[in-house]
């Protein structure tokens, strides 16, 4: 039976459901990322520009789902909903972007500053050249003669190698006083840079942060603190906790050349593996709803321990929204869940939206859900199912992230579309076995040796693929 395309069709709630979240996210993205460009405009002019954009968004969303063939009342109804959602997103984007400090307010001229103090916002890292690095939320700046001034914003703090053990011991959330000088940031880094010649921990982190740091150190010692540390330990630390301090330079370069650097950054893939294993263990004895609730608790704990990398936080928010859907309070398609996560993350972590990893994370997933789905339908029947799924997702992610990659890195690596089809599954298996090895390290039985052997072979295979 053929459908008469000229006859109006009823409004489908299933088709309508993703659209408000999508239009709201588009409105927020438009105002968030264009606000610095149009901030000099008068508010009325910027408002007119925003209204024009919202009109274009609403019209194209309606065209995308062929709502122009619907009856007039249904068209007006859905157009009104999308217009309100877009306008709300646009207003929230402006409000969020205005809270972001593009340059810190230091209270003193940069050439006079000889000291900074503040709180470590991220886990300190060891760089390949031997120095340490961390992100400092400024409280004060100092100059010669005991001059002090209040400060706001963030700087990237580089500190000498001898300070690394102590700074890592106290970890995220500790108060730092550093003496040194401001340096120019080559390539326009995310934050201004301060190169310290001496670093002092003036106050330890809060108790909860201290427990977190201790837990992380315990896990890292299992992989890298042994007398004969396994060759694969650094990669396990990177895939499970995002700690890439001791990762082999050649392996990192191999992932970069193959266009698969994103595999080393904690994201939805890593969270999906861990939560999937948990669901596999709990689903049968506890049921879908209770296992999803326990999975949500695990996700919150894991994101807290691993750190607030933008892509990992995005994955965590999407999992929590999906859990709400499992309990029947909210239903939506993957693209609408992604848009809801974008709105939530921008609202509560406004500065995160300016990071490259944040943009790439959302664009990649948007490409997988939109263009990837369309390509999967085109290739269906022409390619084997498992190849079709992986290739379509890789192509979708590559196309939508390409503009950002070219803008910030100046080069594209299309080889990643194909290489990811092999490297991603092998890395997933490596991550699962690393988790098993971590569990085996607490057991009295000699399971570790077998897993050590298997992980060693997998590690060499990944080196070969790179």
Lowest mean per-residue pLDDT among 16-20, 254-258, 259-263, 456-460? 16-20
| Average pLDDT over every residue of 264-288 | 79
Which residue in this structure is represented by tokens 């700046």? 141
| Average pLDDT over every residue of 137-166 | 91
Question: Is the pLDDT higher at 244 or at 9?
Answer: 244
Start-end of H helices in 99-184: 164-170
pLDDT given for residue 5 in this prediction = 45
Between β-strands 154-159 and 193-203, what pairing exists: parallel, antiparallel or unpaired?
parallel
Using an 8 Å Cβ cutoff, are 353 and 336 in contact?
Answer: no
pLDDT given for residue 227 in this prediction = 58
Using an 8 Å Cβ cutoff, are 126 and 117 in contact?
Answer: no
Does 179 score more than 90 pLDDT? yes
pLDDT given for residue 16 in this prediction = 58
Band of the pLDDT at 187, cuts 50, 70, 90? very low
| Average pLDDT over every residue of 28-43 | 80
Start-end of H helices in 17-123: 18-38, 43-64, 72-98
Does 142 score more than 50 pLDDT? yes
pLDDT given for residue 113 in this prediction = 92
Lowest mean per-residue pLDDT among 45-49, 58-62, 225-229, 329-333? 225-229
| Average pLDDT over every residue of 228-236 | 85
Question: Is the pLDDT higher at 346 or at 390?
Answer: 346
Lowest mean per-residue pLDDT among 97-101, 132-136, 205-209, 275-279? 275-279
pLDDT given for residue 2 in this prediction = 46
pLDDT given for residue 287 in this prediction = 79
pLDDT given for residue 348 in this prediction = 92
Lowest mean per-residue pLDDT among 4-13, 24-33, 338-347? 4-13
Band of the pLDDT at 389, cuts 50, 70, 90? confident
* CATH architecture assignment, domain 110-205: Beta Barrel (2.40)
- Which tens digit of pLDDT belongs to each residue from 38-71? 767 666 666 777 777 777 777 776 666 655 555 6
Kindly report the backbone phi and psi dihedral angles of residue 232, in degrees, each rounded to the nearest multiple of 5, phi listed first. -90, 0
Using an 8 Å Cβ cutoff, are 362 and 314 in contact?
Answer: yes
| Average pLDDT over every residue of 151-178 | 92
135 pairs with which residues across the strands? Answer: 156
Does 19 score more than 50 pLDDT? yes
pLDDT given for residue 3 in this prediction = 46
| Average pLDDT over every residue of 372-390 | 86
Band of the pLDDT at 178, cuts 50, 70, 90? very high
Q: Which of 69-78, 144-153, 438-447 has the largest mean confidence?
A: 144-153
Average pLDDT, the chain: 83
Buried b / exposed e over 11-43, threshold 16 CB at 10 Å, is eeeeebebbbbbbbbbbbbbbbebbeeeeeeee
Start-end of CATH 2.40.50.140 domains in the chain: 110-205
Band of the pLDDT at 73, cuts 50, 70, 90? low
pLDDT given for residue 13 in this prediction = 52
- Compute the Cα dihedral for 435, 439, 442, 446 and give only its sign: negative
pLDDT given for residue 117 in this prediction = 95
Distance (Å, rounded) from C-alpha 404 to C-alpha 281?
39
| Average pLDDT over every residue of 208-230 | 83
pLDDT given for residue 277 in this prediction = 81
| Average pLDDT over every residue of 422-449 | 86
pLDDT given for residue 43 in this prediction = 64
Band of the pLDDT at 324, cuts 50, 70, 90? confident
pLDDT given for residue 190 in this prediction = 65
């Amino acid at each position: 039976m053929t459908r008469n395309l000229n006859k109006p069709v009823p409004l489908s709630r299933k088709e309508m459901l993703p659209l408000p979240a999508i239009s709201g996210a588009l409105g927020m993205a438009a105002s968030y990322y264009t606000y610095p460009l149009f901030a000099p405009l008068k508010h009325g002019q910027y408002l007119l520009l925003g209204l024009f954009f919202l009109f274009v968004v609403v019209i194209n969303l309606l065209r995308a789902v062929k709502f122009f063939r619907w009856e007039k009342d249904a068209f007006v109804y859905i157009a009104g909903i999308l217009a309100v959602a877009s306008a709300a997103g646009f207003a929230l984007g402006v409000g969020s972007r205005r809270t972001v400090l593009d340059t810190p307010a230091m209270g003193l001229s940069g050439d006079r500053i000889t000291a900074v103090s503040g709180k470590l916002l991220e886990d300190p890292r060891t760089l390949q050249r031997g120095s340490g690095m961390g992100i400092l939320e400024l409280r004060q700046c100092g100059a010669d003669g005991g001059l002090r001034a209040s400060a706001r914003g963030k700087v990237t703090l580089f500190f000498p190698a001898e300070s690394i053990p102590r700074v890592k011991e106290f970890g995220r959330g500790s108060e730092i006083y550093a003496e040194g000088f401001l340096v120019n940031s080559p390539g326009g880094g995310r934050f201004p840079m301060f190169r310290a010649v001496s670093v002092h921990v003036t106050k330890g982190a809060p108790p909860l942060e201290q427990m977190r740091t201790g837990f992380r150190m315990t896990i890292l010692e299992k992989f890298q603190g042994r007398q004969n540390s396994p060759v694969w330990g650094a990669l396990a630390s990177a895939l499970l906790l995002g700690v890439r301090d001791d990762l082999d330079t050649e392996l990192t370069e191999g992932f970069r050349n193959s266009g698969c650097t994103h595999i080393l950054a904690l994201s939805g893939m890593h969270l999906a593996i861990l939560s999937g294993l948990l669901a596999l263990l709990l689903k049968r004895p506890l049921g879908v709803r209770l296992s999803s609730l326990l999975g949500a608790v695990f996700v919150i704990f894991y994101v807290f321990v691993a750190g607030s990398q933008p892509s990992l936080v995005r994955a965590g928010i999407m999992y929590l929204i999906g859990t709400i859907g499992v309990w029947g309070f909210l239903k939506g398609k993957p693209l609408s869940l992604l848009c809801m996560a974008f709105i939530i993350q921008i609202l509560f972590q406004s500065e995160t939206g300016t990071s490259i990893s944040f943009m790439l994370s959302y664009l990649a997933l948007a490409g997988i859900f939109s263009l990837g789905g369309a390509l999967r339908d085109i290739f269906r029947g022409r390619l084997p199912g498992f190849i079709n799924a992986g290739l379509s997702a890789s192509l979708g992610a590559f196309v939508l992230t390409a503009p950002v990659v070219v803008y910030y890195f100046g080069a594209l690596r299309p080889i990643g579309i194909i290489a990811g089809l092999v490297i991603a599954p092998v890395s997933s298996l490596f991550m699962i076995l690393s988790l098993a090895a971590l569990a085996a390290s607490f057991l009295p039985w000699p399971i570790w040796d077998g897993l050590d052997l298997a992980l060693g072979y997998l590690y060499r295979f990944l080196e070969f693929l790179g």
